[in-house]
Structures are given as structure tokens and as C-alpha cells.
């Protein structure tokens, strides 16, 4: 009896995760690499899925095992610790980027895809296409990590494949059907302060500082254009809000027809993620609630928009 319930719970969880157009049996054959008849025996309940098979399905489709067995712990959620290893930082960081890019590719045509983020730093969805800014983000983390040898910004070389993957990541975000950005009004101040600190201890040259400054101005131009247009390059909706209160952290969510993903930024470049539905619902409600403290500057609020970006240019100009 219990085995049948577990089998049914697993099948129902997979059905919820797969797009309606996908054939359940074919999808499971591709995931488990077993024959059609063996799959149908499992779907009919004649043969139960093994624990190993359930684990493979969980990993491939991002379904939590508690969801499969029909258990819900309201006070608990399973998180994926996307922590960049200090042993091989570039390889580990690239692996995380690659996983996120694959996810964006999989939802590229999904008309129900949405992203919401409340940021106290410049969102990486916008900054990763800029070589020096993305390099500085990594440099700051690597310098702080005592297990990584990183002495000078100029000496740090970013692998070309990582540069290309970062730009691919940034480009794919424009295909998300709806994006809500809620920005802390200090996002540029925080970054400028960080750059100034590393310049003051002579780890960033004047030449590199000027290049970072130039990219920041280009980023401000892009952000202002995006907010005035209210559309991504792919023609999808983008709403930008400036918060009148400061944020203690950066929170984000990605929702699609088959995925509900929550992200919390930790340790500078890392994030923890979960596909727990309760966590997603709570995080989305929290981010959306911040709009009551914020001013919409995309396609409206022209005076506030002009004022905000003028202030950001003044902040960057002191570099």
C-alpha cells in the first residue's frame, strides 16, 4: 500500500513538472535510459520505481523527494548550496553559470516565465556582460577568501569561456517574459565604495579604475534606456522600481510553467536556491510587497527616473 502511494506520488510530481506537450513515458525513458515497456510497468504501478531512479528523476527535473512522497514540511525547505569552491574557483563558478544558462535556455519560449528581484547590488543579469565589472565581482570574492591566492586585480585572468558564458547568461534574461527589478537606491554607492577601497590599498591601477568607471557609465546608460523603454531587447516587459528603503540582502525568484525557483545571495558571488513551493510563494510575496515603498521609473515617473540616474552618474564620477 505504501509502495503504491509512493509510486503514485512520484508520477504525479513528474506530471506537474513536465510541460503539457511532453509525453510522460518518453520523458522518463530519456531520463532513466530504460525501455518503454519497463517505463509503462512503473506507470501502471506493476513495478515500483527504485530509490536510485527516484533520485535521478529528482536531480534531472528538480523535484524535491518530499514532494514525490507527498510529504510537506511547512517549516523546512531543501536548499541547493551553490557555493563556489576555493580549490578550483573558476571551474566551480563556470559550472554554476552553465547550469543557470541551461535553465534560461529551457524556458526561453515559455510565455509564463517571470523574474522578480530586490537588489542591494547591481543585478548580475545586467552587469555580467561588462568584462571589467564582472571581473571585479570575482576579484573581490577571491581576495576575501584566504584559501585563494589572488593578490592584484591586474594579475587576475578570466578564462575566455567564462566571459562568453557570462554574456550568454545576460543575453538570455531578455527572453524572460516578465521581469520586475526593485533596486536599493544605494546600489551604485556600494560598488563605487568597494572599488575605491581596493584602489586605496593599491590593488587596482589607475588605468583599470578608469576602465571600471567607463563601464559603470555605460551600464547606467543601458539601465536608463531600459527603464525608459520598459521592454527588453527581445520585446518582453521590464518594470523597474527604486526603493525608498534599503535592503539587507538580494532576493530573487524565477517562475515558469514548470519551475518555481527562489534564490538568496550569499558570500558575494554565491547563492542558495530552492524549488520549495512555500518558499517561492513567500519570497515572491515579500519582493512584490516592496513595491509599496518604491517608485516605478519604467515607462513612467520620468522626473524620478531622470533624477535617479543623474545621482548615479554623480556617484560614479568621484572614482
| 231 DSSP 8-state letter | B
What's the rounded mean pLDDT across residues 171-180? 92
Q: Which residue has the higher pLDDT, 317 or 24?
A: 317
User: In the structure grid, which three cell numbers stand for residue 212, read together?
Assistant: 571600471
Write down the pLDDT at residue 285.
Answer: 94
Q: What DSSP string runs through 56-116?
A: HHHHHHT--HHHHTT---TT----EEEPPPSSSHHHHHHHHHHHHHHHHHHTTT-TT-EEE
Instruction: Report the pLDDT value the prediction gives residue 89, as an integer from 0 to 100.
Output: 77
How far is it, in rounded angstroms, from Cα 24 to Cα 11? 9
Who contacts 5 (Cβ-Cβ below 8 Å, separation ≥6)?
A: 70
Please give the torsion angle defined by the CA atoms of residues 123, 182, 268 and 103, in that order, rounded to the nearest 10 degrees. Answer: -60
Give dist(CA 77, CA 80) in Å, integer: 10
Mean pLDDT to the nearest integer, 111-135: 91
pLDDT band at 284 (very low <50, low <70, confident <90, very high): very high
Q: Which sequence spans correspond to the domains of the chain? A: 2-68, 80-317
Helices (H), the chain: 2-17, 24-32, 36-43, 51-61, 65-68, 89-106, 124-127, 131-144, 160-173, 187-200, 206-229, 277-289, 302-317
**Average pLDDT rounded to a whole number, residues 27-56:** 84
Quick check: 296 pLDDT over 70? Answer: yes
* Residue-level pLDDT at 118: 92
Residue 23, classified by CB atoms within 10 Å of its CB into exposed (0-12), middle (13-18) or buried (19+), is: exposed
In the predicted structure, residue 3 carries a pLDDT above the cut 50: yes
- Residue 302 cell numbers, joined: 520620468
**What does the mean pLDDT of the chain come to?**
84
Q: What is the pLDDT of residue 72?
A: 46
Question: Of residues 215 and 245, which shows the higher confidence score?
Answer: 215
- The CA distance from 288 to 91, in Å, is 35
**What is the structure's pLDDT at 181?**
95
CA distance 13 to 25: 14
Amino acid at each position: 500500500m505504501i509502495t503504491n502511494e509512493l509510486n503514485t506520488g512520484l508520477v504525479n510530481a513528474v506530471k506537474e513538472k513536465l510541460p503539457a506537450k511532453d509525453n510522460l513515458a518518453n520523458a522518463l525513458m530519456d531520463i532513466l535510459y530504460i525501455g518503454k515497456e519497463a517505463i509503462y510497468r512503473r506507470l501502471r504501478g506493476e513495478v515500483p520505481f527504485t530509490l536510485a531512479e527516484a533520485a535521478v528523476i529528482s536531480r534531472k527535473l528538480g523535484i524535491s523527494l518530499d514532494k514525490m512522497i507527498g510529504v510537506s514540511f511547512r517549516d523546512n525547505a531543501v536548499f541547493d548550496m551553490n557555493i563556489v569552491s576555493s580549490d578550483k574557483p573558476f571551474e566551480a563558478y563556470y559550472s554554476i553559470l552553465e547550469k543557470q544558462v541551461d535553465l534560461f535556455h529551457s524556458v526561453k519560449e515559455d510565455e509564463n516565465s517571470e523574474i522578480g528581484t530586490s537588489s542591494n547590488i547591481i543585478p548580475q543579469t545586467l552587469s555580467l556582460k561588462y568584462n571589467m565589472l564582472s571581473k571585479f565581482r570575482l576579484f573581490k570574492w577571491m581576495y576575501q577568501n584566504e584559501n585563494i591566492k589572488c593578490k592584484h586585480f591586474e594579475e587576475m585572468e578570466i578564462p575566455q569561456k567564462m566571459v562568453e558564458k557570462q554574456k550568454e547568461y545576460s543575453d538570455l534574461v531578455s527572453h524572460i517574459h516578465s521581469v520586475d527589478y526593485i533596486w536599493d537606491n544605494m546600489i551604485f554607492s556600494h560598488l563605487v565604495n568597494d572599488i575605491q577601497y581596493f584602489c586605496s590599498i593599491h590593488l587596482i591601477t589607475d588605468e583599470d579604475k578608469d576602465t571600471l568607471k567607463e563601464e559603470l557609465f555605460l551600464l547606467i546608460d543601458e539601465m536608463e534606456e531600459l527603464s525608459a523603454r520598459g521592454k527588453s531587447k527581445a520585446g518582453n516587459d521590464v518594470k523597474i522600481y527604486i526603493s525608498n528603503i534599503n535592503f539587507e540582502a538580494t532576493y530573487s525568484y524565477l517562475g515558469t510553467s514548470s519551475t518555481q525557483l527562489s534564490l538568496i545571495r550569499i558570500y558575494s558571488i554565491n547563492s542558495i536556491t530552492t524549488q520549495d513551493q512555500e518558499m517561492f510563494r513567500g519570497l515572491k510575496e515579500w519582493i512584490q510587497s516592496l513595491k509599496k515603498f518604491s517608485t516605478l521609473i519604467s515607462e513612467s515617473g520620468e522626473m524620478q527616473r531622470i533624477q535617479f540616474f543623474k545621482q548615479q552618474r554623480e556617484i560614479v564620477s568621484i572614482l
